[in-house]
A and B are shown apart, each in its own frame.
Chain A
Amino acid sequence: MKKHIILLSLLGMLFHSCMDEPVIQPNSYEGNFNALWEIIDTKYCYLDYKNIDWDSIYTAYHQRIPYIKTDLDFFDFLGKMLEELKDGHVNLYSGFDVSRYWKWYTDYPENFSSDIIYSDRYLGENYRIAGGMRYQKIDNGNIGYIYYGDFTSDFSDTNIGYIFKYFSNCKGIILDVRNNGGGYMSGAEQLASYFFTEKTLTGYLCHKTGPGHTDFSTPIKLFTPANKNVQWLRPVVILTNRMTYSATNDFVNRMRKAPYAIILGDKTGGGGGMPLSSEIPNGWMVRVPTSPMFDANMQHIEWGIDPDINIALKPEDAARGYDTLIERAVALIKFL
């Protein structure tokens, strides 16, 4: 019997050595660099789409490691390497800083002024707030204006129902999602659902399944349902700028298929890859897009979505307190 017990113990030890565990890099500059490079190499979903030669980036950056003397320098160094991805969803988080890539909007006109939209001509001081949406009737009560700046602000059918009821005498509404950097994907679907009359295919989503640059799952269809409780079946103009990003980018993509919607403004900032979190041995967290999203024609939306009407905020309008985009949207709704 003693033999049997020993045999079972040996079998147990054998079992535990069968599956190779991933190599965990040491907590050194070299180890952390390798770990971060590998995370991007195996998880980032746009290396091929963006035609990035990640191996040559390794070579270029690896040789600089011996010259790094402080954690602050090392953080900046890794941040620079991540900038090569040109992705606003890629960030490195340490206890003292967050690396970021913001050129997707800083290299473009802002096309938005919060001073103007909070002026008496638009929201004014007495605007109403429901579920994170700030709303007011403009143009002598003919048009409803909603500013929604953050998809992490929850809203409900009840909130939207009150807003639509308040705008019941308006010919159309303007839904302003400029400077909305995203938030919950479920919120994007829900907000779009108020403008659909039937369940509609509006995009696709897949994800990385393995370490290879082309290891992706079969794309699944993303539908936008028609909300059963609340619907707005009159014109709606969506205002966009380059800071319309991530979940808001997805919202705009969905609204392209809404029957009474028009997208107006600048091309959105993109951010079509849903990021997951990982970390390197020194405990810094890294955010990496692993799930690319596509429009209804299976085209990437990573670089943004073109509006139906491309229009910029004119400085002369801004100087008079006018928002060119809102004024154009008002005129458009009146014309429809």
Chain B
Amino acid sequence: MIKHSSCRFGLIKPSLIAGILIIVCFSINAQSSNQSEKALTTSTNSFGFSTINMLDSYLSPLKYSGSGFRYENDNRKFVSPENISLSKENHFKMNFGLTENPAQTSEMWYLGMNFSWGMHHHFYVGENLLLLAGGLWDLDFMGKTNSRNQNNPFNIDLATNLNLSVEAVYRIRTPKRMLRLGFSMQAPFIGVMFVPEQGASYYEIFELQNFSNTLHFTSLHNKLSLTENLSLDIPFNHTTLRFGFRNENLKFEANQMIFKRNDLSFHVGYIYDFYKFEGTKNRAPSGFNSTYNY
């Protein structure tokens, strides 16, 4: 039987969390052998439009602004079906767009990608409020190209970070449906990033492979970032839609240069739960027809 674990949302009081944790810790074998409950993966695919302004002091001393598109895929599931206080997740974000300098005489294209993996602890507060706190490890990449530049035509923001993450979800009961209002914040606190030296040409860096002083340890002293996400989930008959605003602020300093990126986006997504049957040990039970395992 496949059971949607999140139906327990709000039924467990905070006072029981410690007890649940103990049970979780000492009953791993029992859980793994319990085939009656499954942890579903909640997946969200979002598409958005964003306005962005950025400062890349390696490419230009001026702030560029413009707009672009973003796509995001989020997957979250409980670590085990019995333990509804700890979830694991992965995220993939991609954004691209075009910016211009204030005089509109130069363009800068950007393409960004971010992969992250992490875990959250779930705190059930009252009947309708859920708080999550956890951490994520991410790989962050953004390539930027200023086509009219010579010998410094592109730059790469490349970093890996450990992020703190908090999230609040509030269920709003209406006569027809249950809405979910969510707010999350995420900030890196330690990591490593690539930043070229201000006078180094791409020829020296990439062709002569002189990477000296391009890798920097990061923490709150030289890299500050905050991502805020406000969303409203509305279930309809056949789908659940998410509408949201995201505000990403990033600022870092290295090699006596400041880099900045502010991205405000509106996004629309759809949410669904799924269970993954795979391999030989976790095959689909009878009644599930597959084009692959026919």
Say whether B172 faces chain A, with CB atoms less than 8 Å apart. no
Smallest CB–CB gap between B51 and chain A, Å?
A: 18
Residue among B101, B166, B208, B213 making CB contact with A279, cutoff 8 Å: B101
Residues of chain B with a CB closer than 8 A to A291's CB: 199-201, 204
A95 near B105 (CB under 8 angstroms)? yes
Q: Select from chain B the residue with minimum beta-carbon distance to A43.
A: B199
A22 near B258 (CB under 8 angstroms)? yes
Residue among B200, B220, B222 making CB contact with A217, cutoff 8 Å: B200
B224 near A15 (CB under 8 angstroms)? yes
Residues of chain A with a CB closer than 8 A to B210's CB: 220
Smallest CB–CB gap between A15 and chain B, Å?
A: 4
Q: Select from chain B the residue with minimum beta-carbon distance to A38.
A: B61
Residues in A219-264 with C-beta less than 8 Å from chain B: 220, 222
Smallest CB–CB gap between A247 and chain B, Å?
A: 10
B62 near A24 (CB under 8 angstroms)? yes
A12 near B187 (CB under 8 angstroms)? yes
A281 near B62 (CB under 8 angstroms)? yes
9-residue interface stretch from B73-81, B134-142, B145-153, B283-291: B145-153
Known: A8-B185, A277-B150. A207 touches B105 (CB 8 A): no
Known: A220-B210, A275-B150, A276-B149. A208 touches B102 (CB 8 A): no
B199 near A208 (CB under 8 angstroms)? yes
A185 near B203 (CB under 8 angstroms)? yes
Smallest CB–CB gap between B181 and chain A, Å?
A: 13
Residues of chain B with a CB closer than 8 A to A45's CB: 199
B131 near A27 (CB under 8 angstroms)? no
Residue-wise interface mask of A (184-196) relative to B, using a CB-CB cutoff of 8 A (1 in contact, 0 not): 0110000000000
Bound CA span A13–B86, Å: 30
Q: Select from chain B the residue with minimum beta-carbon distance to A208.
A: B199
Say whether A173 faces chain B, with CB atoms less than 8 Å apart. no
Residues of chain B with a CB closer than 8 A to A18's CB: 220-221, 224
Say whether B57 faces chain A, with CB atoms less than 8 Å apart. yes
Residues of chain B with a CB closer than 8 A to A208's CB: 197-199
A283 near B106 (CB under 8 angstroms)? yes
Main secondary structure of the interface of A (DSSP, over half): mixed
A207 near B103 (CB under 8 angstroms)? no
Say whether B171 faces chain A, with CB atoms less than 8 Å apart. no
Say whether A179 faces chain B, with CB atoms less than 8 Å apart. no
Bound CA span A186–B253, Å: 31
B105 near A21 (CB under 8 angstroms)? no
Residues of chain B with a CB closer than 8 A to A222's CB: 208
Bound CA span A9–B256, Å: 27
Residues in A14-54 with C-beta less than 8 Å from chain B: 15-16, 18-22, 24, 27, 35, 39, 43, 45
Residue among A209, A220, A283, A287 making CB contact with B150, cutoff 8 Å: A287
Say whether B54 faces chain A, with CB atoms less than 8 Å apart. no
Q: Select from chain B the residue with minimum beta-carbon distance to A95.
A: B105
Residues of chain B with a CB closer than 8 A to A21's CB: 55, 258, 260
Bound CA span A220–B258, Å: 26
Residue-wise interface mask of A (84-102) relative to B, using a CB-CB cutoff of 8 A (1 in contact, 0 not): 0000000001010000000
Residues of chain A with a CB closer than 8 A to B166's CB: 8
